[in-house]
Amino acid sequence: MRARSLILVAGLFPAFAATSLAQEAAVPVPVPPRETEAEKTALLDLVLANQKKNDQALSLYERVERVEMRKNAVDKQTGEIKVSRVVPAGTGVDHIPIGPDGKPTDPDAYHAELVKLERALSWAADDGHAQHDAYEKMAKRQKERDDLIDATRIAFLYSLVSSETRAGRVLYKYKMEPNPAYKSTSRATSIFAKVRGFVWIDREAGQIARVEGEVTGDITVGLFLAKVYKGSHFMQERYETLPGLWMPSFSQYDFDGRRLFSSISIHERTFYGQYRRIGPPKEALAMIRAELGKPDGATRNP
């Protein structure tokens, strides 16, 4: 849970319609007028409510993800690259490998993956005890995530420092620091005291556009079996990829630490795009079955 909460901080602030790291540059604009506490409170409450809606919508939209792995944070050489079509499957998410061009590299293997996805969706669309149990566990995880999102509202202090424009829209940049008065209520929320950074908000939309954060002290994960080291860094960008929904377009994680007696190093850049609504399992199942029924099997460009 603590590991998921650390990723949550990254995802909150796990950000993705980009095809390259060079997103549209932000341009500084005059410092915005001073806001009242009431105005800031109303904005932050709206932002977190919208964030929860965006998270929930991810279970209804498929997308394409490109993950680039590096040896360390300063290594400019990209190592392994994984590109996949990511499809919500009711109680989970299916990752179907595709080529860098977005097309299946092996039509037969791709077809086989679609068949497995069809089976998973068929199971998820059924109404039985096993399905009810699985959906209850899923709902519990979603509530835990929503609770963590709510906790960030009081676990951090937000101060407006500047404003910028991106793609013609004004973003307000807030400094985000741990609130010394906040009392952690769980292992998951205890990591907030060791994270600080900046969050960019599109005030007109009430949405998070970008976040950057840094781990300011070693964080123990699990039952003291792993640790994320001080200096680990994350960032995420979001755009309005669908009307009213701000989905991730890009994220970067640079985490160093250890697991038991071995060092661990996670340095990944992920690009997200080609969002398409596939709906809940019954709707998704119909779409996948139609795709499997095509004469050319399953070789469409996802």
Sequential pLDDT tens for the chain (302 residues) = 443 444 444 444 332 222 233 345 566 666 666 788 999 999 999 999 999 999 999 999 999 999 999 877 666 667 889 999 999 998 899 999 999 888 999 999 999 999 999 999 999 999 999 999 999 999 998 998 999 999 999 999 999 999 998 888 899 999 999 999 999 888 888 889 999 999 999 999 999 999 999 999 888 776 556 788 899 999 999 999 888 999 999 999 998 888 777 888 889 999 999 999 999 999 999 999 999 995 433 334 33
Please say whether the beta carbons of 85 and 62 come within 8 A: yes
Please say whether the beta carbons of 212 and 197 come within 8 A: yes
pTM attached to this predicted model: 0.82
Q: For residue 104, give both structure tokens.
A: 């299946």
The pLDDT, as a whole number, for residue 298 is 38
Instruction: Judge residue 162's burial from the number of C-beta atoms within 10 Å of its C-beta, 0-12 exposed, 13-18 middle, 19 or more buried.
Output: middle
Could you tell me the CA-to-CA distances from 284 to 57, 87, 136, 138, 217 in Å, in that order? 14, 9, 20, 18, 43
CA distance 179 to 83: 39
